Chains A and B, each alone.
Chain A
Amino acid sequence: MTVPQNPSLDASDEVDTRQGMILYLEDLTVSFDGFKALDELCLYLREGELRCIIGPNGAGKTTMMDVISGKTRPDSGSAFFGIRHDLTQMSEHEIARVGIGRKFQKPTVFPGHTVFENLELALRGSRSLWHTLFAKLSGEQQDRIALGLDTVGLSDEAHLPAGQLSHGQKQWLEIGMLLAQDPKLLLVDEPVAGLSLSETERTAELLSSLAGTHTVVVVEHDMEFVRQIARTVTVLHEGRVLAEGPMEKIQADAKVISVYLGS
Chain B
Amino acid sequence: MTTGSAAQSGSRSWLLAVGLFAIAAIAVPLLNLGLAEDSPLHLPDYLVLLLGKFACYAIVALAVGLIWGYAGVLSLGHGVFFALGGYAIGMYLMRSIGTEGVYKSELPDFMVFLDWKELPWYWYGFQHFGFALFMALAVPGLVAFVFGFLAFRSRIRGVYFAIITQAMTYAAMLMFFRNNTGFGGNNGLTDFKRLLGFTLRDPETRIGLYLASVTALLGCFLLCRYVVGSRLGRVLRAVRDAESRVMFSGYDVRSYKLFAWTLSAVLCGLAGALYVPQVGIINPSEMQPANSIEMAIWVAVGGRGTLAGPIVGALIVNGAKSWFTVALPDAWLYVLGLLFIGVTLFLPRGIMGSLLSKHEGTRT
Contact = CB atoms under 8 A, between A and B. Distances in A.
Interface of A: 1, 3-4, 69, 71, 91-93, 96-97, 101-102, 104, 108-114, 117, 120-122, 127, 129, 132-135, 159, 161, 163, 177, 181
Nearest to B237: A112
24 contacts: A3-B149, A3-B254, A3-B255, A71-B244, A71-B248, A92-B247, A93-B253, A96-B248, A101-B248, A104-B244, A104-B245, A112-B1, A117-B3, A121-B234, A121-B246, A129-B255, A129-B256, A129-B259, A132-B230, A132-B232, A133-B232, A135-B231, A161-B1, A177-B249
The number of chain B residues touching the other chain, given as a range, is 20 to 34
Contacts of A4: 153
B252 A93 contact: yes
A39 B291 CA distance: 52
Contacts of A69: 248
A129 B230 CA distance: 11
Nearest to A124: B250
B231 A132 contact: yes
Contacts of B244: 71, 92, 104, 108
10 pairs of A and B residues whose beta carbons are closest in the complex: A96-B250, A1-B255, A92-B247, A132-B232, A132-B231, A112-B1, A133-B232, A97-B250, A110-B238, A135-B231
Contacts of A135: 230-231
A163 to B, nearest CB: 7
Nearest to A159: B4
A163 B4 CA distance: 13
Contacts of A109: 242, 245
Contacts of B83: none
A216 B114 CA distance: 72
B interface majority secondary structure: helix
Given A93-B252, A108-B242, A134-B230, A1 B259 contact: yes
B241 interface: yes
A127 B252 CA distance: 8
B258 to A, nearest CB: 5
Given A96-B249, A110-B241, A132 B3 contact: no
Contacts of B237: 110, 112-113
B235 interface: yes
A95 to B, nearest CB: 8
B247 A96 contact: yes
B242 A181 contact: no
Given A3-B258, A113-B234, A117-B234, A122 B249 contact: yes
A132 B1 contact: no
Nearest to A96: B250
A133 to B, nearest CB: 4
B2 interface: yes
A122 to B, nearest CB: 5
A149 B235 CA distance: 20
A127 B231 CA distance: 10
Nearest to A103: B248
A113 B3 contact: yes
Interface string B254-294: 11101100000000000000000000000000000000000
Contacts of B258: 1, 3
Contacts of B251: 93, 121, 127
Nearest to A71: B244
A1 B262 CA distance: 10
A161 B4 CA distance: 8
Contacts of A92: 244, 247-248
B164 interface: no
B336 interface: no
B343 interface: no
Contacts of B232: 129, 132-133
